[in-house]
């Protein structure tokens, strides 16, 4: 018998089909892309070490999909209202919480993120935690870039990262600090 039972929804987005895993209370547990479904299973098994995780097709919507659709339609702040829960280590959860504090349309470096959580020497550990983030887009790991302002790794691919940043910047025009220039260009 699995220790964790999650429901899996599939949502068509401008970037391809998104996989949305929620618990039985509708709390978001994981997000990934259809072409990375195997990674979704790996990340969940790492999050809940020692426990069995089972994904079951959702028979009814969780309420997460309409919020993500709103994000893709231009309401980029919609995802900030989603409740999320993760496994992982205390350090990982600290990094993931800090990711949600990066405003839409903005980017920061791994070093800046490490400093924000009070561990400025933990840049590589922050990078590893960022890469292990099970709730991409909603926990916006795509907003973290290299110290030289280059677009660096994103689990969904750099084209998706570029698109997400461009999308957020498009909808934050007029917001203080906005720039049309994407990092790395």
- Say yes or no to pLDDT of 184 above 60: no
Q: Where are the domains of the chain?
A: 4-81, 90-171
Tell me whether the CATH fold assigned to 4-81 matches the one assigned to 90-171.
Answer: no
- Can you give the pLDDT at residue 31? 95
Q: Which residues contact 50 (CB under 8 A, 6 or more apart)?
A: none
Q: Which residues contact 106 (CB under 8 A, 6 or more apart)?
A: 143, 177
* Beta carbons within 10 angstroms of residue 98's beta carbon: 21
- Its sign, for the CA torsion 15, 21, 27, 31, is negative
Topology of the domain covering 4-81: Double Stranded RNA Binding Domain (3.30.160)
- Say yes or no to pLDDT of 182 above 90: no
Q: What's the DSSP call for residue 184?
A: T
Closest to 21 measured CA to CA, from 64, 52, 70, 50 = 64
- Can you give the pLDDT at residue 1? 56
Helix (H, G, I), strand (E, B) or coil at 11: strand
Question: pTM of the prediction?
Answer: 0.87
| Pairing of the two strands 4-13 and 16-22 | antiparallel
Q: Is residue 17 a contact partner of residue 65, using CB atoms and an 8 Å limit?
A: no
Among 126, 138, 141, 164, the active-site one is: 141
Query: Considering the domain 90-171 in this protein, what is its CATH number?
Result: 1.10.10.10
**Catalytic: 157?**
no
**Measured CA angle at 116 (ends 115, 118), to 5 deg:** 60
Rounded Cα distance between 144 and 146, Å, is 7
């Amino acid at each position: 018998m699995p220790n964790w039972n999650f429901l899996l929804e599939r949502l068509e987005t401008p970037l391809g089909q998104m996989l949305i895993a929620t618990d039985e209370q509708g709390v978001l547990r994981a997000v990934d892309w259809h072409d990375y479904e195997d990674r979704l299973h790996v990340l969940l098994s790492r999050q809940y070490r020692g426990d069995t995780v089972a994904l079951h097709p959702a028979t009814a919507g969780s309420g997460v999909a309409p919020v993500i659709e709103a994000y893709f339609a231009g309401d980029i702040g919609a995802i900030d209202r989603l409740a999320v829960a993760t496994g992982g280590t205390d350090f990982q959860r600290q990094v993931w919480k800090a990711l949600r504090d990066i405003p839409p349309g903005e980017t920061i470096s791994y070093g800046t993120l490490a400093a924000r959580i009070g561990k400025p020497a933990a840049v590589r550990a922050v990078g590893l935690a960022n890469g292990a983030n099970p709730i991409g887009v909603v926990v916006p790991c795509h907003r973290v870039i290299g110290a030289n302002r280059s677009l660096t790794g994103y689990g969904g691919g750099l084209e998706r990262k570029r698109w997400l940043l461009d999308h957020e910047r498009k909808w934050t025009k007029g917001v203080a600090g906005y720039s049309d220039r994407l990092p790395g260009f």
